[in-house]
Structures are given as structure tokens and as C-alpha cells.
């Protein structure tokens, strides 16, 4: 097969291939970029494979960086672009179900393609647009099948993260997982416990954000692999509810929205503990937990200025998006109206602060002062108090007078 017109991303990188070939070596575009070009999908990263060894690549190009030279990868900076160029290689036994004990450089494209995960990723493209396919990748693309290269069990025992990548690819492309490949993913699923949580999170997160996330998640559930992911053991009914509660056309708008709804259906006693198991950032935790809090408040039909001020317009709209998908009453217009009416957006916009109250009204620093500032903030946000120094001082004098009497 030959592509009549190379995508612009490949055309920009063509001088790299030609320069390597001019030096007497082979060079090809490989992997996901070739797959995406054939599927007419956006191309994100252009990877190049060659029979030239890293030191030979460094002799061909003047500007390079050793980003993974022990695995044969050199970063080439050329004409304003950055390109990862990796030497054809074979890999020895995997010692931890993730990394090979040793990498051997070879001069054979076939040997290099043989070590890849799925047939649709084991494709190469030369500078003239010819597709090199040695493992039925083109046929599987056409039939929308996800099939492991060679023996499936070997591929997943080499790198257990490929199991999660498989479910993610199913969710991204809406491909059916080939029977033997799926069986191997299921039988090797326990190896996911050997994989770092951070890597599993990346794949699971991409799955949830994919256009066909329901398809990928169902495969993950049916395989039993979910049980080896943090906090999901014995959560099969809840995970199926995640699929059932949202329409087939629904796509999550952000990672935070996806994980918040996941937690909602899981109905856990300690949501923060679950997020910590996944080792997500504190900022991510806070956003997800705030979304859950808003979701709970909206279930109680609560919505006022204080909610909009405390959680922010963006988070409330994210929750409304979920409510709309479930056919629940929504309040997009009301949220916008309340947001526009807010007299302040944060405590920093208050006409007074702790320093002013200490200096001009004799307040003492400490918890009591904090409580006073919180009360002022609430009164301003709810429209009970004008955000001016004179109004706030009058409010405080009145409050002191009431308390003394």
C-alpha cells in the first residue's frame, strides 16, 4: 500500500529521513503516527526508527540530545522541529513486567516491528509513502480489530501496561479486541499490580476521555482487569452503573469530570483515600472533591450566590453538564446570572482585610478575627452588605453593639 499524499507532519520531517538515508542507513516513520495517518486522525508525535546506531545518528546531525540513549533514542533538533529517532532494537527478558533486562540494537526493521504491542502499531512508512506491514496491521485497521503482535501472552507478560493500552485503544478507535488477545489480557490482568500507579492512571484516564469510553470500559470490566486497579476490587456493579447512567453519545469534558462521576457511582466512604491510592496531585484531588460536593448539593436542589462564589462558575457548569446528560433538571442560565451578580470573586476583593481591622478597629489577630472576616465575606456575597469600608465598619460596630447588649 502507498499513501499518495503524506500528511503535513510527515512532510515536515522528510528531510530527517532523507538525511539519514543519504548517510547510508535506513529510516522510517513508525508506530502510532502511521496508524493515525491511515485512520485519518490527528497526528501528535512523529517517531522515526532507523538501523543507524545512536552514535551514528549523532554524527549525522549537529544538534542532538540524549533523552533515552540507553534504549536507542536520540532527540534531533532540526529546522525548528524536534524528532525522536530510535535505533531498531530487540529486547531481552522483562524483569518487572515493564522494562526489558537488556536492549540490543539491530539492523533489521522486521525485528524491531516484531517487539511492538499491537499490529496496528507495528506499521512503518518510508519516505515515498509505502507502508511496510509484516503483521496484518493494515487488515486489522480495515476490519477494526485490535490484535497483539505474535503471541499475546508474551506481549503482555513483557509489558503489563499493554493491557491497559489495549483497553484504551478500544475506547479510542471503537475497535473489537481479537479473541485470543482479549483472553491473554484477561489471564495476565493480575500483572497490572506490578505496574506503577502513575502509568496505570494515565491509561485509565485516557480511556475515560476517549470518544468510545463505554466500549473500552466494558471490555476492562468483562476481562476482570479492573480488580487489579487501585480501589476498584469488587466494584463491578458500580462500574457498570458508570456506563448505564450516561447516554452513549456522552463524552467527558475533562479528567476531573470523569473521575468525579466515577467516584459518584462508586459511592465510597472515603473519596480522598481513593484518589490518594491513584497518586494524583493535590490540585486534582481538590477539584474532583469539589465537583462531588457540588453534585451532592445540586441533588438537594441547592443553588445560590454562595455556591457560585465558593466553587466557581466553571465547576458548577461541569456538574450541570453531567446532570443534563442524565436527563435531570439543569440551571445553566441561573448559574450565569448568579455569577454576574457576584459583588466579589474572592476574599482579596473585600474592601477591608485583617490588617485594616487590627489597625483601625483594634481587632486582635487569631481565630476570632478569621471568623469575623468570614462573616463579612458571606454577607457581601449574599447581598446583605455593601462591599465598602464604611458599610463594613458600620456592620461591625452594629454587631459589637448587639453582642455587648
Higher pLDDT, 96 or 103: 103
Statement: residue 238 has pLDDT above 60: yes
CA angle (153, 155, 157) in 5-degree steps: 65
Q: What is the CATH number of the domain that holds 365?
A: 1.10.246
Which of 321, 342, 363 corresponds to the end of one domain? 342
Cβ–Cβ contacts within 10 Å for residue 73, how many? 20
- Best CA proximity match to 162, nearest among 97, 84, 89, 73: 97
Classify each residue of 324-362 as buried b or exposed e, where b means 16 or more C-beta atoms within 10 Å of its C-beta: ebeeeebbeeebeebbeebeeeeeeebbbeeeebeeeee
Whether residue 396 sits in one domain with residue 337: no
Q: Check the annotation: does 400 bind a ligand.
A: no
Whether residue 279 sits in one domain with residue 170: no
Whether residue 377 sits in one domain with residue 364: yes
Q: What is the CATH number of the domain that holds 117?
A: 3.30.460.10
Residue 261: per-residue pLDDT: 98
Which of 115, 140, 165 corresponds to the end of one domain? 140
Whether residue 76 sits in one domain with residue 89: yes
Q: Check the annotation: does 159 bind a ligand.
A: yes
Statement: residue 68 has pLDDT above 90: no
Give per-residue pLDDT as tens, 6-55. Answer: 999 999 999 999 999 999 999 999 999 999 999 999 998 899 999 999 99
Q: Check the annotation: does 165 bind a ligand.
A: yes
Which of 197, 212, 244 corresponds to the end of one domain? 244
Q: Hunting for cell 478597629 — which residue is that?
A: 361
What's the predicted TM-score (pTM) here?
0.91
Whether residue 2 sits in one domain with residue 136: yes
Whether residue 149 sits in one domain with residue 258: no
Give per-residue pLDDT as tens, 350-385. Answer: 999 999 999 999 999 999 999 999 999 999 999 999
CA atoms within 13 A on the CB side of 86: 20
- Quote the domain boundaries for residue 358: 350-404
Please name the helix (run of DSSP H) or strand (run of DSSP E) that holds residue 90, with its range, or none.
Answer: strand 89-91
Q: Check the annotation: does 168 bind a ligand.
A: yes
| Cα 248 off chain centre by | 20
Question: What are φ and ψ of residue 398, in 5° steps?
Answer: -65, -40
Give per-residue pLDDT as tens, 148-193. Answer: 999 999 999 999 999 999 999 999 999 999 999 999 999 999 999 9
Q: Check the annotation: does 98 bind a ligand.
A: no
Q: At CB < 8 A and 24+ separation, what contacts does 137-140 make? A: 137/35, 138/1, 138/38, 140/178
Specify the number of domains making up the chain: 4
Statement: residue 96 has pLDDT above 60: no
CA distance 215 to 173: 10
C-alpha cell at 317: 457548569
Whether residue 130 sits in one domain with residue 30: yes
Please name the helix (run of DSSP H) or strand (run of DSSP E) that holds residue 305, with its range, or none.
Answer: helix 305-311
CA distance 316 to 319: 5
Residue 87: per-residue pLDDT: 95
Statement: residue 98 has pLDDT above 90: no
Whether residue 231 sits in one domain with residue 310: no
Q: Check the annotation: does 276 bind a ligand.
A: no
Q: Check the annotation: does 45 bind a ligand.
A: yes
Whether residue 154 sits in one domain with residue 129: no
Q: Check the annotation: does 116 bind a ligand.
A: yes
Whether residue 87 sits in one domain with residue 65: yes
Whether residue 251 sits in one domain with residue 212: no
Residues ≥6 apart with Cβ < 8 Å to 147: 118, 119, 120, 136, 140, 178, 181
Whether residue 197 sits in one domain with residue 161: yes
Q: Check the annotation: does 397 bind a ligand.
A: no
Q: SS3 of 61, please?
A: coil
Cβ–Cβ contacts within 10 Å for residue 24, how many? 10
Amino acid at each position: 500500500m502507498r499513501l499518495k499524499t503524506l500528511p503535513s507532519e510527515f512532510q515536515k520531517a522528510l528531510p530527517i529521513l532523507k538525511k539519514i538515508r543519504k548517510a547510508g542507513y535506513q529510516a522510517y516513520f513508525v508506530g502510532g503516527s502511521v496508524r493515525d495517518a491511515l485512520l485519518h486522525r490527528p497526528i501528535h508525535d512523529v517517531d522515526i526508527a532507523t538501523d543507524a546506531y545512536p552514535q551514528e545518528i549523532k554524527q549525522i546531525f549537529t544538534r542532538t540530545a540524549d533523552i533515552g540513549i540507553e534504549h536507542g533514542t536520540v532527540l534531533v533538533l532540526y529546522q525548528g522541529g524536534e524528532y525522536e529517532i530510535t535505533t531498531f532494537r530487540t529486547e531481552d527478558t522483562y524483569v518487572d513486567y515493564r522494562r526489558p533486562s537488556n536492549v540490543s540494537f539491530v539492523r533489521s526493521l522486521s525485528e524491531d516491528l516484531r517487539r511492538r504491542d499491537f499490529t496496528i502499531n507495528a506499521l512503518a512508512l518510508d519516505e515515498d509513502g509505502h507502508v511496510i506491514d509484516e503483521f496484518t496491521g493494515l487488515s486489522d485497521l480495515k476490519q477494526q480489530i485490535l490484535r497483539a503482535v505474535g503471541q499475546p501472552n508474551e506481549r503482555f507478560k513483557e509489558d503489563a501496561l499493554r493491557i491497559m493500552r489495549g483497553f484504551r485503544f478500544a475506547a479510542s478507535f471503537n475497535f473489537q479486541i481479537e479473541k485470543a488477545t482479549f483472553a491473554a489480557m484477561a489471564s495476565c490482568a493480575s500483572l497490572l499490580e506490578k505496574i506503577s500507579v502513575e502509568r496505570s492512571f494515565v491509561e485509565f484516564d485516557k480511556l475515560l476521555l476517549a470518544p468510545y469510553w463505554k466500549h473500552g470500559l466494558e471490555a476492562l470490566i468483562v476481562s476482570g482487569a479492573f480488580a487489579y486497579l487501585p480501589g476498584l476490587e469488587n466494584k463491578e456493579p458500580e462500574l457498570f452503573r458508570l456506563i448505564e447512567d450516561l447516554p452513549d453519545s456522552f463524552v467527558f469534558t475533562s479528567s476531573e469530570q470523569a473521575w468525579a462521576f466515577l467516584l459518584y457511582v462508586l459511592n465510597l466512604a472515603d473519596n480522598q483515600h481513593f484518589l490518594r491510592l491513584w497518586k494524583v496531585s493535590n490540585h486534582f484531588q481538590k477539584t474532583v472533591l469539589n465537583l462531588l460536593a457540588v453534585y451532592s448539593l445540586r441533588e438537594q436542589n441547592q443553588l445560590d450566590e454562595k455556591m457560585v462564589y465558593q466553587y466557581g462558575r466553571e465547576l458548577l457548569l461541569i456538574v450541570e453538564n453531567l446532570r443534563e446528560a442524565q436527563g435531570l433538571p439543569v440551571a445553566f442560565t441561573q448559574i450565569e446570572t448568579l455569577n454576574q451578580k457576584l459583588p466579589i470573586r474572592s476574599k482579596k476583593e473585600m474592601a477591608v482585610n485583617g490588617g485594616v481591622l487590627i489597625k483601625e478597629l483594634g481587632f486582635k489577630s487569631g481565630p476570632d478575627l478569621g471568623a469575623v472576616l468570614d462573616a463579612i465575606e458571606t454577607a457581601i456575597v449574599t447581598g446583605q452588605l455593601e462591599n465598602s469600608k464604611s458599610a463594613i465598619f458600620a456592620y461591625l460596630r452594629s454587631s459589637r453593639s448587639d453582642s455587648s447588649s
